Chain A
Amino acid sequence: MAKVYRIKQGLDIKLKGKAESIIKQEHANPNEYALKPTDFAGLTPKLTVREGDTVKAGTPLFYDKYHPEVKYVSPVSGVVKEVRRGERRRILEVVVSKNEGAIEYETFDANENASIDEIKKVMLEAGIFPAIKQRPYDIVADPHTKPKAVFVSAFDTAPLAVDYDFVINRNLDAFHAGLRILSKFAPLYLNVGPTSSRKIYEGSKEAKVSIFRGPHPASNVGTQINKLNPINKDEVVWTIAPQDIIILGRLFEEKKYDARILTAVCGSEIINPLYVELPKGFAVKEVLCGNLKDDNTIRIISGNVLTGTKIEETGYLGFYSSQITVIPEGDEYEFLGWAKPGFGKMSVSRTFFSWLNMNKKYELSSNLHGEERAFVMTDEYDKVFPMDILPVQLLKAILAKDIDKMEQLGIYEVAPEDFALCEFVCTSKIESQRIVREGLNYLKTELS
């Protein structure tokens, strides 16, 4: 029987607009897809295509300058429409315009029974390898290091998250095939929620299964690693999301890079929250078209409200995202907002009268509700941070650029996403995720 771990510290933010388990496609057929180098922290991309080139699904678009074997491939077949650049010619997006009709795929010589090096080579060639992230640093895994464990979290407790029971059960064979491949690299930890479907984990003999019970971030791999097999200095752990495991499984079953995933289209500004099944990196415009309430200025987020990235209406879904969340932008002033009783204001503290209605579902905007201040309140982060790490002290060590202290306080175990709830609850509006990201980047440049 799987062991149950109980997470006490955390917070479930109840939002309006959770996607129903239905897949609706009729108006969603975007003809543009993009791969964004900015989704991969610390990546320096080298292009392998030019505008106008014809590509198939699985054709490399760029590779990592410092790890040329790690290739980033096109999710669909068609023509490279544009390489969009930002300041100092930094590549922001490589846009592929999809051909009419069925997607054409590159074929890969993927064989589940081959040697581990062969398997790794195919994964690198086929462009699925960047789906594997490593800790420390929360970056695309270095293919040359051997991880001590691979962690998979097959549920999601984040606000409006994808229902992985629904998603995985539709692709159960590919999911298990993917798990079999991953287990060849290192001991595999498969973590599920208390209500997860048994089919997801009972079919998998390779994985050590644990059940995590409790509020968000129970489903964060960071939390799970910290409880099950914490990362020490010089150790590496790999993590990968369930839908990428399905793509990996398909690669070995069908010999092609089929990047179709189920994406939840959710949030309070969506009329009918539902799922779409499309290849990674699709243009969100056509998917959202006709499904938006039009009474507010909106913010479109690739990912969830805690860790996502704001994108434009003409933007594309990020590589690691499996949901599009649309919320009100909240770029308006509120007269004496801090002094109102606040019956409808979401707060972890009970300083607003919203405690009268604990089960209310909220329609939160992206307004900060205040200005940034120095750290004043204490014990706020501890209430939502379940890892055996002192969050404020670690953040302060990062701000002070004190490498020894960062190491001692456990920076190798964390990713920005682990601090998302700290950022949410912070009275002083401190951007913890940005600080952690900068800390990891700093450490990486200093130590290599």
Chain B
Amino acid sequence: MKGLRKFLDKQKPAFEKGGKLSMLGSTFRAFDTFLFVPDETAPKRGTQIRDAIDLKRTMSVVVIALIPALLFGMYNVGYQHFKSIGELANQEFFDIFLFGLWKVLPIIVVSYVVGLGIEFAFAQMRGHEVNEGYLVSGMLIPLIMPVEAPLWMVAISVAFAVVIGKEVFGGTGMNIWNPALVARAFFFFAYPKEMSGSEVWIADKADAYSGATPLADAATLVNAAPNETGSILGNMASSWEMFTGFIPGSIGETSVIAILIGAAILLFTGVGSWRIMLSTVVGAVVMGLIFNFFGGNAYMTEIPYWQHLIMGGFAFGTVFMATDPVTAAQTRKGKYIYGFLIGMFAILIRVVNGGFPESMMLSILMMNTFAPLIDHYIIQGNIKRRLKRAKATNAIA
């Protein structure tokens, strides 16, 4: 590795300020610091030693936590395809997986190439460092796309998310909404046909086969006549299928088991916030129970509260989206409130409005918007406590 280091050190001056290639300085530094943790040491005054963690490590842990969902998603893409054409029994495990890999890989490549391309360009234009945040967003976006999403639409959604969702605010750390969800929301509203219905969730589906997600099935309960309820519920995937993930859906969101493995990694390493995950689940359970007892339509009364937790994007959103530290509430108490409301609103939107079966995305984006407000009140609480204390001591004096 010494040779590589020497080579990089030799190139460095050209990319530094005043050098011939200084317009590519951020790009060079991004690659340089990717290959080598820099030799920078602590300043003269201040803490003289540092924790070994940096943003690259943190982000790579999140990417690792996403891998179970990704691998299962690839397998499930193949599984759903062969199931729809009635060939499942004739396929080997690896054929199923390779089919999925072949379908999913282009979406991942497009996501990273477009997203990182824009990130590098912005960093270069502004003369700051390339931030690691997109390593995670770039993996999240494919996992919440339907497998049939046309690549150019994915590309436009990614571009929209990175530019409008992040860079206009100043880059990673400054954005208000989760960039991956901005990409999905853009896709959802710009190309509704490619993001909903029953045709997009299974790759190369046989026409006669119903490709509706359990969530879409359940959404028909909202306006269902009482005598239809039974047949709708009968058609829906079983809880076990939803838990293991052998159902149509966005690429990475279907398997609760794979997501729970990811959650375990995030919680054990301390990268993900248990406060947010826990309170989101509690919020959903509370809302689910309320509807179970006081339901106004069949969706509210017939789907038990616990089933909401394994349907659609709830689990994926709870573990990987709601916990995004930049867009979530930043104070400890704020995190409980933020998570709880995400859980509540996710279930509320689901069971009231059949037009938005995927409620988790909207719920998280909405709470992203309100997170600064929640923090504001928690901060005011701290300020008031301090003022009160001052008054109390003045009164004694």
Contact = CB atoms under 8 A, between A and B. Distances in A.
Interface of A: 13, 230, 232-233, 235, 299, 301, 305-310, 325, 327, 329-339, 342, 345-352, 354, 364-371, 373-379, 382, 388-390, 392-393, 408-410, 416, 420-421, 423-429, 431, 433-434, 437
15 contacts: A13-B49, A305-B48, A330-B39, A331-B40, A333-B5, A366-B50, A369-B54, A370-B37, A371-B33, A377-B325, A408-B387, A423-B50, A427-B51, A429-B54, A434-B46
A369 B50 contact: yes
Q: Which 7 A-B pairs have the closest CB atoms?
A: A370-B54, A374-B173, A337-B37, A345-B52, A232-B390, A338-B56, A423-B47
Contact of B48 (A310, A374, A428): A310
A370 B268 CA distance: 22
Interface string B7-38: 00000000000000000000000000101111
B383 A376 contact: no
A350 B270 contact: yes
A376 B173 contact: yes
Given A364-B49, A423-B47, A373 B37 contact: no
Interface stretch (B57-65, B82-90, B305-313): B57-65
The A interface is mostly helix, strand or loop, or mixed, namely loop
Contact of A379 (B37, B173, B273, B326): B273
Given A331-B41, A410-B386, 20 more contacts: A232-B394, A299-B41, A310-B42, A335-B5, A342-B52, A348-B51, A352-B53, A366-B49, A368-B40, A371-B129, A374-B131, A374-B172, A374-B173, A379-B330, A379-B335, A392-B330, A410-B382, A425-B51, A426-B50, A429-B50
Contacts of B5: 333, 335
Contacts of A335: 1, 4-5, 35-36
Contact of A308 (B48, B58, B275): B48
Contacts of A368: 38, 40-42, 50
B40 A371 contact: yes
B328 interface: yes
A409 B129 contact: no
B126 interface: no
B208 interface: no
B73 interface: no
Contacts of A327: 48-49
Given A308-B48, A378-B325, A367 B41 contact: yes
Of B53, B54, B273, which is in contact with the most chain A CB atoms at under 10 Å from its CB?
B53
A431 B48 contact: no
Contacts of A369: 37, 50-54
Contacts of A428: 55, 173
A135 B132 CA distance: 39
B43 interface: yes
Nearest to A338: B56
Contacts of B49: 13, 305-306, 327, 364-366, 424
Contacts of B390: 232-233
Contacts of B78: none
B146 interface: no
Contacts of B33: 370-371
Nearest to A345: B52
Contacts of B53: 347-349, 351-352, 369-370, 425, 427
Contacts of A346: 51-52
Of B5, B172, B383, which is in contact with the most chain A CB atoms at under 10 Å from its CB?
B383
B269 interface: yes
Contact of B50 (A308, A339, A408, A424): A424
B271 A351 contact: yes
B271 A408 contact: no
Contacts of B1: 335
Contacts of B174: 374
A185 B222 CA distance: 74
Contact of A409 (B56, B275, B383): B383
A104 B148 CA distance: 89
A433 B379 contact: no
Interface string B319-339: 000000110101110010000
B133 interface: yes
B342 to A, nearest CB: 16
A336 B35 contact: yes
Contacts of B193: none
B235 interface: no
Contacts of B389: 230, 232
Interface string B224-244: 000000000000000000000
Nearest to A436: B46
Nearest to B267: A350
Contacts of A337: 36-37
